[in-house]
Structure 1
Amino acid sequence: MSAPTTTTKATGTRTWRWGAVTGFPAGSPDPRRALEVVRRVDAAGADLVLLEPGPDGVDSHDTTSLAGFTSSLRTAAAGVVPGGAVDDVPPYQLARRTASLDHLHRGRSGWWCTGTAGLPVGRAEEHAAVLRALWESWEPDAVVGDVAGGAYADHTKVHAVDHRGPHYAVRGPLNTVPSPQGRPLLVVSDDGERSVALAARWADVLVLDGRSAATGSDTRADTVARLRAGLVRAGRGPGDCLALVRVATTDPDAVEAVVRSCGADGFLVDVPAAAAAHEVEHRLTAATADLVRVLSARGHLAPRPAEHGLRRRLLEEN
């Protein structure tokens, strides 16, 4: 299986994409707080919200279930993407969950691969390849719904997946209808050279960690350069996978500096839903009323593009 060739152009002059990262460990206060985080950043024009699982050794809610919970916000236009490690869920189960979730969010969801470090060589790559094959096992117009003729789907547009590799053995096609956006969004966190190669071949977004000065701008700039070069080697356009920097600060000057210094396509601001209520409120206000307002005035952020599936909206030119 090889990554499909696309025709998206480079993103050098376009405005930034932005979003938030939030988490909600088990045992946290009222889970409706997660709805408030999504609602507020969505109202401020965010493109997506990533739902982070709890750290190793800490009980946390299943992020796909939490993402389904947030779909009750019927007015939300931001994408909501649950996260997890490669070994958390086998590819077939994950593909089915996320395809169903994409229907709940009307074509605005996906999966965030939060870590590949420490895995056997090739496991994450194979996981992503199988996930993509399953997502794409139904062509977008495969369902015909011909009641009179007794045909639910055009069998020529439903493709078998019979994968047998060193880490997974998976049969398909997926036993659910295709995602509204063709396939859900695939996000990968940068945790080393292999994760960047994985993102270049398969992903739509690479998340860079800009929360600590320990990871300098030169390192992040090198990562972005390796991503762009890897996209070309994979037969993809240099703008077919966005680099978004995850930041802890809501200071507009600091965010602008970190995005510019590494040549990223935008940023993701941390808004931990499990923090104390007054801290969540302060963080939301600082992000949505201050940071976004200033960066919009400086021309870095534009109104959210016309309503499309999340992947198309993130990657299209503006």
Structure 2
Amino acid sequence: MFRLGWFLGNGFGMQPWYGNWTGRAVTEWTQPSMYVDLTTSLERAGFDLLFIEDTSMVEDTYGSSMETTLKYGLMAPKNDPIPLVPLLAQATEHIGIVATMSTIQYPPYLAARSMVTLDHLTKGRVGINVVTSVSHRVAQNFGLDKHFEHAERYAMADEWMEVVSQLWDSWEPDALVHDTETPRYADHTKVHPIDFEGKYFKCRGPLNTIPGPQRRPVVAQAGNSHPGRDLAARHADTMLALAKTPEQMKALRQDMDRRLIEHGRKPQDLKILFMATPYLGDTDAEAQERFNRFDKAKHDPDNIEKRLWYLSYVSGGVVDYRKYDLDGPVPQEIGNGETTTAKAWLEGSENITLRDLATGPANYGMEFVGSPDTMAAQMGEVMAEAGGDGFLMYPDVTRRSIMEVCDGLAPALRKRGLIRDGFAHKTFRENLMDF
């Protein structure tokens, strides 16, 4: 049996808003209704978590302009996901909700306090995705001239997590007395300043709110570089992972097991969820035809432009792909952004053109094509071979795709005993670690 999560890859932002099956998304994306529908459907389907991405900039690397970003609604405009979390939790009872926080956007004290507050409001169902942000534009929105180099970003993130973790532990488990007669709410001798002073952060503490139901909200990590993997091995409970084959999945799992042991943890302490994109149809032939249409559409000028925009973004604002000849060689500069993603896109691109890269296979993990029953069998076989903990599904967010996955694929998986058929515990952490 494995876990399922849904990756909300454009966060509380622009989901598909033109074309078929988009409804009123062009004007209603700022409202919670789509996300409430998604989250209640995921819980009904047996998903363990909703994973909400976030970014805080209007990207202008491609063409040195915001034109393409705002023409298509690519990662902007976008709302803050934190206020959305309680609305999703209020509509559900069991599913975990992971919100993204960046170490350059949130001081550790603010992050620790916000997450504990959300832990109370969700009755123990919140998680935090710790990211270091990607581009100079984000850094410049938070008082920096440019972003830190990749290695330093992760050194900073490790120290950030140390501060946050100490703040979460600044109240001892038995600090609350709740004596209404004396009166005495808490034992002050069991609430401690942390007096942290490091290279990047300084914090006195203690946290000025009481521990939440989980005491430590679930920590997620999405970086697949070596520093990102080390950060996950030290601090994370779950991890977003990219792999294209069962062999790559197995290799990543083995590497993370080694890192976890090196940091004094057990392999079962980290649940690795591999990104997967489903292409569903009533029959295998219908699903294949749907995939073929999607594959052919990658050659449309709009989709080429969006792909080149994305490649510029993952470079961290370093490489403007609009400057290059589509029929010329692929620039091989990695940049300072999502380095693992950039390397995955550029792998084997030395002898192809930029057009080939822009119209080639996506690099968002694994792709599954078929009817619900066929896809369920495929996913079961892959997970049995790879030994991972589950999949993080990454389809477009429309009400059609929600129904296809939650009312088509999920029942087929459940029929095979591959996903949960209910939740045994009250908190996100307990359910995540249940098996």
- Which TM-score band applies after superposition, normalised by the shorter structure? 0.7 to 0.9
Pick from 171, 178, 190: which aligns with 1:138? 171
CA distance in 2, matches of 1:161, 1:238: 29
Aligned residue in 1 for 2:391:
267
Aligned residue in 2 for 1:292:
410
One-letter amino acid of the counterpart of residue 126, structure 1: E
Q: What are the ranges of 5 or more consecutive residues in structure 2 without an aligned counterpart?
A: 15-26, 59-75, 135-149, 280-374
CA distance in 1, matches of 2:198, 2:101: 22
CA distance in 2, matches of 1:139, 1:304: 32
Aligned residue in 1 for 2:430:
312
For residues 8-67 of structure 1, what are the alpha-carbon distances to aligned partners after superposition, in whole Å with 9 as ceiling and x for unaligned? Answer: xxxxxxx21112122221773533111111111111121111111147533421121111
> How do 1:190-269 residues align onto structure 2 when only pairs under 5 Å count?
190-210=223-243, 213=244, 216-249=245-278, 251-269=375-393
Pick closer, same or farther for the CA change 1:304–1:156 going to 2, 3 Å. Answer: farther
Aligned residue in 2 for 1:65:
83
Q: Percent of aligned positions with the same letter in both sequences?
A: 29
- How much has 1:258 moved relative to structure 2? 4.6
TM-score normalised by length of structure 2? 0.63
> How do 1:161-172 residues align onto structure 2 when only pairs under 5 Å count?
161-172=194-205
- How much has 1:309 moved relative to structure 2? 1.6
- How much has 1:139 moved relative to structure 2? 2.8
Runs (4+) off by over 6 Å: none
Pick closer, same or farther for the CA change 1:197–1:43 going to 2, 3 Å. Answer: same
Query: Do 2:104 and 2:133's aligned partners in 1 also have CA atoms closer than 8 Å?
Result: no
Pick closer, same or farther for the CA change 1:168–1:25 going to 2, 3 Å. Answer: same
Partner SS for 1:64: coil
Aligned residue in 2 for 1:92:
109
One-letter amino acid of the counterpart of residue 25, structure 1: G
Partner SS for 2:118: helix
Which one has the largest radius of gyration? Answer: 2
CA distance in 1, matches of 2:254, 2:387: 8
Pick closer, same or farther for the CA change 1:47–1:247 going to 2, 3 Å. Answer: same
Relative to structure 2, which stretch is displaced further, 98-107 or 61-70?
61-70
CA distance in 2, matches of 1:119, 1:87: 14
- Would you tell me which structure has more helix in proportion to its own residues? 2
CA distance in 1, matches of 2:5, 2:191: 34
Matched, 1:176 2:209: yes
Query: Do 1:139 and 1:182's aligned partners in 2 also have CA atoms closer than 8 Å?
Result: no
Task: State the number of aligned residues.
Answer: 292
One-letter amino acid of the counterpart of residue 106, structure 2: V
Partner SS for 1:129: helix
Query: Do 2:104 and 2:132's aligned partners in 1 also have CA atoms closer than 8 Å?
Result: no
Q: How large is the Cα RMSD of the aligned pairs?
A: 2.2
Matched, 1:44 2:45: yes
Query: Do 2:89 and 2:125's aligned partners in 1 also have CA atoms closer than 8 Å?
Result: no
TM-score normalised by length of structure 1? 0.84
Relative to structure 2, which stretch is displaced further, 258-267 or 62-71?
258-267
Partner SS for 1:128: helix
Pick from 120, 125, 128: which aligns with 2:158? 125
